[in-house]
Amino acid sequence: MPATFARYARIWLASIRYSLVRAMMFRGDFLMWALVEFFWMSVNVLLVGIIYEHTDSIAGWSKYEMLLLVGSTLLVQRLLMAFFWSNLFELGRNVRSGHFDFFLAQPGAPLFMISTRKFDLDGLVNVPVALAVVLYAAHQLQLHPGPGQIAAYVLFIACGLALHFATLLTIISLVFWLQSAKGIEIGYFSLTEFSRLPRESLRGITAVIFVYALPVVIVSNVPARVLIHGFEPVYAAWLLAATVFWVAVALTVFHAGLRRYASASS
């Protein structure tokens, strides 16, 4: 087991080095996308300030509590963009073109080789910006989280990342049957925008869809709540259970599609 883990770590590090070298070869493209993402994050933060000029509370969340929530959302999204976004969306194109055979021939599990092929530096460079938003909001709220709360926050951010990865993998894996994944990228990115909303603001059918069926809201609400209100067992169990469930679904769907896959040359 340690030897296998070390081998996969070396493969991932090699992919990261390749991606970094490629990013530096096209510095203009890298800087442009980094600035685009920074601008988009700034708009999200400024929007909170504009809204709270006209109200003191939204669904029981104050201005800086909302800012902490938005910062947590941006943190998960930047990590997703840096490590997995491009890789998963290339899966659909690779299956249609037959280039997916390349991953099957590589010295590692197909899902690992697909998920770690590329690393987007422009997404990672804005992670400190998202973290700065969280720290600023926590400072304004005069929060002083202990080591346990900080550890729980990191765990819940990791769960949010795993949830996004699993949900996205499940949807993209449908390409094994549908032979097309057009529109999924924009559609799923639109869904992630709901993670900026407080859980309490959703009612009726929207709560059923975006809180329970597709838990895009809890990926940011639970980490934010652990800093604001402390550790809440019910919310922690909810997020952990949703993560385990969606990871299991994603693996099942992906491997079912893998068994169905026929290469372009067959």
Q: Is the pLDDT of residue 186 over 70?
A: no
For 78, phi then psi, to 5°, come to: -65, -40
Q: Is the pLDDT of residue 206 over 70?
A: yes
Q: Is the pLDDT of residue 266 over 60?
A: no
Q: Is residue 266 a part of any domain in this protein?
A: no
The pLDDT value given to residue 197: 80
DSSP letter at 217?
Answer: T
Q: Hunting for tokens 């909001």 — which residue is that?
A: 137
- Average pLDDT across the chain, whole number: 83
Q: What is the pTM of this model?
A: 0.87
DSSP letter at 212?
Answer: I
95-123 mean pLDDT: 79
The pLDDT value given to residue 139: 92
Q: Is residue 89 a part of any domain in this protein?
A: yes
Q: Is residue 212 a part of any domain in this protein?
A: yes
Number of domains in the chain: 1
202's torsion region: left (phi>0), alpha (psi -120 to 50) or beta? beta
Q: Is residue 59 a part of any domain in this protein?
A: yes
Confirm if 41 and 130 have CB atoms less than 8 A apart: yes
Q: At 98, is the secondary structure helix, strand, or coil?
A: coil
Q: What is the pLDDT of residues 22-44, one digit of tens each?
A: 777 777 777 777 787 788 788 88
**Which one is predicted more confidently, 93 or 185?**
93
Q: What is the pLDDT of residues 54-85, one digit of tens each?
A: 888 888 888 999 999 999 998 998 898 888 88
Q: Is the pLDDT of residue 162 over 60?
A: yes
- Domain extent at residue 142: 2-260
* Rounded Cα distance, 228 and 92, in Å: 40
215-224 mean pLDDT: 87
Q: Is residue 155 a part of any domain in this protein?
A: yes
The pLDDT value given to residue 66: 92
The pLDDT value given to residue 53: 86
Q: Is residue 265 a part of any domain in this protein?
A: no
